[in-house]
Structure 1
Amino acid sequence: MPQSLLTYITLLLIVLCAHSPLSAQDKSEAPKKFLVDDFDNETVDDLPEKWFNQKGEAKPITYTGDLRATYHYRIMEEEGNMFLRFEGKRGKHLSFPLRNKEHLDIYETPILTWKWRIHEYPAGANEDDGDKNDAAASIYVAFDLGRVLFKKVPKSIRYTWSSTLPKGTELSKFYGNQKIIVIGTGGDKQGEWQTFERDIVADYKRLFGDNPPAKPLAILILSDANNTEDIAKADYDDIYLKSAQN
C-alpha cells in the first residue's frame, strides 16, 4: 500500500474516533443518576404512593381513618410541577427504602440532591435541645445498623433546616449513631425553592470515621413542630442520587 494512502487512512480513523458519539471511555464516565422521587405522576391532595412509614413496614397511602389523618403530607401541583408538601404540627417520618433497589451504589452516585421550599418554620426550635427538637424540613440517609446499649439503631445523617441553629452546625445524637448537619436557618430565602447537594459518602466517612455500605437502608423525610407547639410548612421535590460529575 502506498505510504500516502496509508497516511490518509490513519488520519481518517483518528478523525472518526475523535468524533464518535460515545467512545468506550466516555461510556464508563457517563453521568449516572438514581431517582428517589420527583413526585410526578402522583395524585394531587393524596399521600405519595412510593413512600412507607418510618420502619418501612407499610405505605401510609393505604391507611384509613384516624391513622391516615396523622400524616400531614400531600401532593401538590403548581404550574405543572408536582411536589410534596408538609403542613401541620405533629410530623411523622416518610421512608423510601433503598436496600432492595437494584443498580444502586452510592460510590457511583454519592451526591444526594433535593429541593426544599420553606414556608413556615417552628419558632424557637433547636435540634440540640430534646424539648425543642423540631424542624421545618429534614432529609435523612439511614445506613447500616449501629448500637445503643442493647438496641440496634440505624446510623444516619440528618440534613435539617433549623429554626435557630446556624448553617453548618453539626451535632451528634443517639450515642453517635445520628449525625445532624444544618443546611439552612430560619427565614433565609423563605418561600423560594432552593436546591441542595451533599456528598453522602464523604459526609459519612468524615462523621463516622469509616466507609459506608454501598447501599443505604433508606431515605427519610420529616417536618415537625409538636415540641414547640407551632406549625411547620415546607415543600419537597426532586430527590436524586447522582454521580459527582453530573
Structure 2
Amino acid sequence: MSAPAAAAPAAALADARRALAAPDRLRRALLCAPAALAAVLAGCVTPPRRELPQAVAPFSTLRALDGLPPGWEELVMRRDLPRTDYRVVTLDGRRVLRASGHGASGLRCRLRVDPHAAPWLRWSWRTREVPLSMCVDRSETDDSPARVAVAFDGDEQRLSMRDRALYELVQLITGERLAYATLMYVWDGQLPVGATANYARTARIRYLVVESGSARAGRWLRYERDIVADFRRLFAEEPGPVNSVGVLTDADDLRLDLETWYGDIRMEPA
C-alpha cells in the first residue's frame, strides 16, 4: 500500500475531528438536514450489546395512555429543535401511537432479530394530511408525516473511508455509533411509490417510498414488506441482524404541524 493510501483513513478521521472543533461548520456540513439525521438516530443507532427482545414492542396491548409505550425510547438529535410529541392513545377502538407537532425527534425499539428468519415487516399507519411540499430527496424539504426505519448490523470494514469518517463524527457528537445500514420506509409528498433516495450524507441510509401524495390521507393503511428483498435491492448485499426499529414523524424543516397514528409493527416469518 502506498504512503498516501495508508494515510487516507487517518486523514479522514482527522478531518472529522477538525469539523467537531468548528461548531458552525459542523452544523452546516452535518446538520443542514436535521430531520434526516434525527431520522437516522430515531431508528438507526447500533444499541449497546445486551440481552435484547426478538419482537417489536406492541402498542395495542397497553393499558396506560398518554405516555411513551414500554420498550420504546425517545431520541433527540438537537435540543434547539422542537420535539415531536409521541403518546399512546385510543383511536377507532384500539391502542395506537400518536405522533404530533412539527418536531424532529423519533422513537426507537431495540431488538435483535435475524431478518432471514422473520423477513416480513408488517405495520399500519394513518395520517391527518400530507403536505405536498415534503420530499425526502432534498435536504431542505426532508420531512415526512410517517416513517418506519429498520437498522441492521454489518461488517464496518466494508464501509468507505467517507462513511467511516461520518460514523466517527456522529459517535464523537452523540456517544453512539450509526448502524451499518438503515432501510427507511417513507410516506412522501412527491416521490412515487417504489422510488428510492439516499440520505444526503451517506448511502448507508436509504429511503424507500411506500406511500405518496395526499390521496389516501385520513384512513388506516396497512403494509407488508420483505425486508430481506428490499435490503438486497437497495444495498446489493445480504442483510445482517436487525438491531432496532424506529418511527419518525418530522416537520422541522418546513415547520408544518402534523398528526400521524401508528399501529403495531411486527416482524414475522414468511
Q: Does TM, scored on the shorter chain, surpass 0.5?
A: yes
Q: Deviations over 1:4-57 (max 9, x none)?
A: xxxxxxxxxxxxxxxxxxxxxxxxxxxxx94542342142222222201338xx
Q: In the superposition, relative to structure 1, how do residues 36 and 46 fare at CA in structure 2: closer, same or farther (>3 Å)? A: closer
Deviation for aligned residue 1:149: 4.0
1:235 corresponds to which letter in structure 2? W
- Equivalent positions of 1:90-169 (< 5 A) are 90-99=103-112, 104-144=113-153, 147=159, 148-152=163-167, 153-154=178-179, 155-169=181-195
Decide whether the 8 Å contact of 1:42 with 1:75 is kept in 2: no
Deviation for aligned residue 1:181: 0.5
Q: CA RMSD in A?
A: 2.2
Corresponding residue for 1:30?
A: none
Deviation for aligned residue 1:122: 3.5
1:219 corresponds to which letter in structure 2? V
Q: In the superposition, relative to structure 1, how do residues 160 and 113 fare at CA in structure 2: closer, same or farther (>3 Å)? A: same
Give the TM-score of the pair, scaled to structure 1. Answer: 0.73
Q: Which of 222, 227, 231 does residue 257 from structure 2 map onto?
A: 231
Corresponding residue for 1:200?
A: 227
Give the TM-score of the pair, scaled to structure 2. Answer: 0.67
Deviation for aligned residue 1:123: 4.2
Q: In the superposition, relative to structure 1, how do residues 127 and 79 fare at CA in structure 2: closer, same or farther (>3 Å)? A: closer
Which protein is bigger by CA-based radius of gyration?
1
Decide whether the 8 Å contact of 1:160 with 1:182 is kept in 2: yes
Q: In the superposition, relative to structure 1, how do residues 95 and 143 fare at CA in structure 2: closer, same or farther (>3 Å)? A: same
Decide whether the 8 Å contact of 1:74 with 1:84 is kept in 2: yes
Corresponding residue for 1:188?
A: 215
CA distance in 1, matches of 2:103, 2:91: 25
CA distance in 2, matches of 1:210, 1:179: 14
Going by fraction, where is strand more abundant, 1 or 2?
Answer: 1
CA distance in 1, matches of 2:86, 2:219: 19
Comparing 107-116 and 144-153, the one that deviates more: 144-153
CA distance in 1, matches of 2:97, 2:247: 11
Q: Deviations over 1:33-87 (max 9, x none)?
A: 94542342142222222201338xxxxxxxxxx99x8341111113431000111
Gaps of 5+ in 2: 1-53, 168-177
1:74 and 2:87 are equivalent in the alignment: yes
